[in-house]
Structure 1
Amino acid sequence: MLSRLRRRLLAVATAAGLAGTLLTFGASPPADAAGSAVPATIPLKITNNSSRGEAVHIYNLGTSLTTGQQGWADANGTFHAWPAGGNPPTPAPDASIPGPAAGQTKTIRIPKLSGRIYFSYGQKLDFRLTTGGLVQPAVQNPSDPNRNILFNWSEYTLNDAGIWLNSTQVDMFSAPYTVGVQRGDGSVISAGKLKAGGYNAVFNALRAQSGWGGLIQTRPDGTVLRALSPLYGLETGALPASVLNDYINRVWQKYATSTLTVTPFGDQPNTKYFGRVSGNVMNFTNGSGAVVTSFQKPDASSVFGCHRLLDAPNDLVRGPISRTLCAGFNRSTLLSNPNQPDPSAANFYKDPVTNHYARIIHDRMADGKAYAFAFDDVGNHESLVHDGNPAQAQLTLDPLN
């Protein structure tokens, strides 16, 4: 199956004053259901329960699993490849689809893509094309043209094996929504719904957590737009680079004299790796005692981004170990449990030094599940729905309260 839908697939692109993110889409779940009845397109039912009066604009952007091209899909599910971009980036074609008014629904069709469904309130998003592809909004940059637009996105892959659809807060927490899939038998599974009042509760909790309120972005008139992820908080100076140092140092001290056992695959309980710190490096050995990979002591950026010193290649050893370490650092379970991953959400975020952004978001989710950092899927704590034979996908825009 997939290494889960949400991955750190985005490479930074900066061109001619437009600091954005080059939108690329990585490997999708394999088409492992030969002869699947999944059609070329399926319906996406969009319901606007936001109670907001502004016009809603929808975008379906991604990589065609048929041709491998990057592009966009219109309301009928027809795929259009992007034209060539430029340097400086050139405006992308208007890929927007008019969304439903408040209290209304609209059904469009989505093709077999690995991509994103964006939605914005009141104003269309500004997408550009560079020579390497699409540049997505990068609101951590104060000069980004989308900085003062209220918007968000969901991620999905639809292929012959079905649909994977998630809600994500990996980059930011903003306009709330719920994703769902109607199965062939008529039942519906959903994810990403906040508790009643959960939207404002997230911002209030961030303000109440000393040092974390700076993640919140507002319009010049004071309207709250979003909270940046801690990774972007580091990049913008909203969080100090030392924010996780105390916890990281304690972890490195602990495993200089004891062993961290990582069992990265839930269906392979006998595959274990053993970590010990020596010379400020955590070396992992296999059951035969051979060193299989090593990690330098990470910094906060490596932890929050699950990258750099915690890089996770798509292999069968370092990547799975790194994913487990990343989850343990963000959830602050590495000191309390020497056997990782810790399966119980009741044990997460208990240390005073932790990813408070992730803690606060998970706490306000109706089912406790979210994608608050890149490998929040470790242990299946992510907000994801999947069905092998979907009758319909669903996206519900929820109230901002």
Structure 2
Amino acid sequence: MVSRRSFMVAGAAATLGAPAWLLTRPQRATAGESPAAAASLPITLRNTSGSGTVYAYISGADESGWPGFVTADGTFRRLPSPSSVLTPVADHSIPLGPSGSSGVRVPLHQYVISGRVWFSVGAKLQFFVNPANGGGAPGMVQPALTASDPNWRTHWTFCEFTYNSANLYANISYVDMVALPVAMSSTGQAGPQSVPPLPAGALGRIAEGLRAQHAADGAPWDRLVATDDAGRVVRVMAPAHSPAGFGDYWQPYLDEVWRRYETTGLTVNGQGSVGKYTGRVSGGVLTFAGLNDNGVPFTKPSAVDIFGCASGPLYNSGGDARGAVAARLAAALNRSSLLVPGGDNQPDGVPADRYYEHAITNHYARLVHEHATIGYAFPYDDVGPTGAPAVDGHLQDGAPTSWTIEVGAGA
């Protein structure tokens, strides 16, 4: 799905590393809403960062799946297919006004799917495009979380969205990183909605927490903190993007979990129409009675498997029962909730205040939830007890009349 050279090379619909379902899965009209008749959505882009040099970009794909950018006049500009890889994209930046001004209005009049609204402070972002494969659409190369990316030391952030005939669905996400805060609001058939930004100072506190965690356990949590040339925190990356491997970090916890479930049944509620499955460990494999494992048994996952939630025994097999069980195992492992009281009943048996109690856990997710108001911190952070409120930061409207996005100050 994603290949990498010196930095991210991907198709228009790809994210920085999160599974595609995170960006696309809820994009449907809510109950009782009628689909919008035609594309007509005024977007306001606002700068509250404290800087007078801020740029916005609106990227995505048209309804045919062809990647491009929305310009300041609301026109979607398709990317040409170049003759060579990593061809620079023409400048589609939208300069924003001074911090605290009323913002820039973009009269969007075309549907955009798998989109992002990007913001950069102090410098423009660089995008590239790769040639089409087999006569299809070219591949947009977006800013990536690696030091070889030309945007590495630039302060940038984004939110995700799709706007189609069914609805506007937009969300903030910390699955890949925490950076400049983004806030959103909308009006429309669903009424006024809003998504709060990362609280002031939260980025710095998360960075401090990760450095302190490294000092405590020696794991490379500090390597998740990226700084600019002045030493200011630019972003904090999720451990799935760590430049340093976590090796056998999870092994003591996994050993303890596997021992417990040799003698105790682990029940996983796949929720929805999936139903419940109970498993036990035998011969090093966690086997759930009646569950088709698609030839990929639930053995002990690696750190890469746990943080990424998409490989090894935790590979994303889609919407089947195995996929539902794997997602809930991935969430339980990231939260280290399998050994606490009620941990043998996932995800219903463990309240959120019992997550991240073990010394071995996803400390990035722990700190994000400690300092952020709302937002996913790993790919299956939407997994929760049946009936629990969503923890993501999204808005959705079947007939939106306005959408405002603003970027705030950093650490």
Match of 1:134 in 2: 140
SS in 2 for 1:213: helix
Alignment of 1:320 with 2:329, yes or no, is: no
Alignment of 1:13 with 2:4, yes or no, is: yes
Q: Quote the Cα distance in structure 2 between the aligned partners of 1:382 and 1:35.
A: 24
> Structure 1 counterpart of 2:261, which letter?
Y
Q: Quote the Cα distance in structure 2 between the aligned partners of 1:35 and 1:390.
A: 11
Task: Provide TM-score, normalisation by structure 2.
Answer: 0.84
> Structure 2 counterpart of 1:164, which letter?
Y
Mapping 1:361-400, distance limit 5 Å:
361-366=368-373, 369-379=374-384, 380-400=390-410
Match of 1:206 in 2: 210
Match of 1:41 in 2: 40
1:170-206 superposed Cα distances (whole Å, 9 cap, x missing partner): 2221111122332447523324x23343232222222
Which structure 1 residue ranges, 5 or more long, are not aligned? 1-9
Q: Quote the Cα distance in structure 1 between the aligned partners of 2:39 and 2:328.
A: 36
Change (3 A) 1:139 1:359: same
Match of 1:4 in 2: none
Match of 1:122 in 2: 122
Match of 2:287 in 1: 283
> Structure 2 counterpart of 1:257, which letter?
T
Match of 1:5 in 2: none
> Structure 2 counterpart of 1:299, which letter?
S
Shift of 1:37: 2.5
> Structure 1 counterpart of 2:300, which letter?
K
Shift of 1:253: 2.1
Match of 1:189 in 2: 194
Q: Quote the Cα distance in structure 2 between the aligned partners of 1:329 and 1:263.
A: 15
Q: Quote the Cα distance in structure 1 between the aligned partners of 2:377 and 2:399.
A: 28
Match of 2:136 in 1: none
Q: Quote the Cα distance in structure 2 between the aligned partners of 1:47 and 1:313.
A: 39
Mapping 1:156-235, distance limit 5 Å:
156-184=161-189, 187-191=192-196, 193-210=197-214, 211=219, 212-233=221-242
Q: Quote the Cα distance in structure 1 between the aligned partners of 2:279 and 2:12.
A: 33
Is the 1:121–1:151 Cα contact (8 Å) retained in structure 2? yes
Change (3 A) 1:38 1:362: farther
Is the 1:181–1:190 Cα contact (8 Å) retained in structure 2? no
SS in 2 for 1:296: coil
Change (3 A) 1:160 1:240: same
1:188-247 superposed Cα distances (whole Å, 9 cap, x missing partner): 3324x23343232222222222242221111233122111211121xx11x532222222
1:95-140 superposed Cα distances (whole Å, 9 cap, x missing partner): 2222232111222244422221111111111111113501112232
Change (3 A) 1:262 1:397: same
Alignment of 1:154 with 2:134, yes or no, is: no
Shift of 1:86: 4.3
Q: Quote the Cα distance in structure 1 between the aligned partners of 2:131 and 2:263.
A: 51
Shift of 1:330: 1.0
> Structure 2 counterpart of 1:397, which letter?
V
Shift of 1:60: 1.2
Is the 2:45–2:56 Cα contact (8 Å) retained in structure 1? no
Is the 1:13–1:135 Cα contact (8 Å) retained in structure 2? no
Alignment of 1:274 with 2:278, yes or no, is: yes
When structure 1 is superposed on structure 2, of 332-341 and 87-96 the one drifting more is 87-96
For these two proteins, the number of residue pairs brought into alignment is 375
Shift of 1:21: 3.5
SS in 2 for 1:209: helix
Which structure 2 residue ranges, 5 or more long, are not aligned? 14-19, 133-138, 385-389
1:286-324 superposed Cα distances (whole Å, 9 cap, x missing partner): 3xxx54453221111111111111111222212211111
Q: Quote the Cα distance in structure 2 between the aligned partners of 1:298 and 1:285.
A: 20
Off by >4 Å, runs of 4+ in structure 1? 29-35, 290-293
When structure 1 is superposed on structure 2, of 81-90 and 25-34 the one drifting more is 25-34
Q: Quote the Cα distance in structure 2 between the aligned partners of 1:350 and 1:394.
A: 38
SS in 1 for 2:194: strand
Task: Provide TM-score, normalisation by structure 1.
Answer: 0.86
Match of 2:59 in 1: 61
Change (3 A) 1:352 1:162: same
Alignment of 1:300 with 2:303, yes or no, is: yes
> Structure 1 counterpart of 2:119, which letter?
F
Q: Quote the Cα distance in structure 1 between the aligned partners of 2:49 and 2:363.
A: 27
When structure 1 is superposed on structure 2, of 212-221 and 300-309 the one drifting more is 212-221
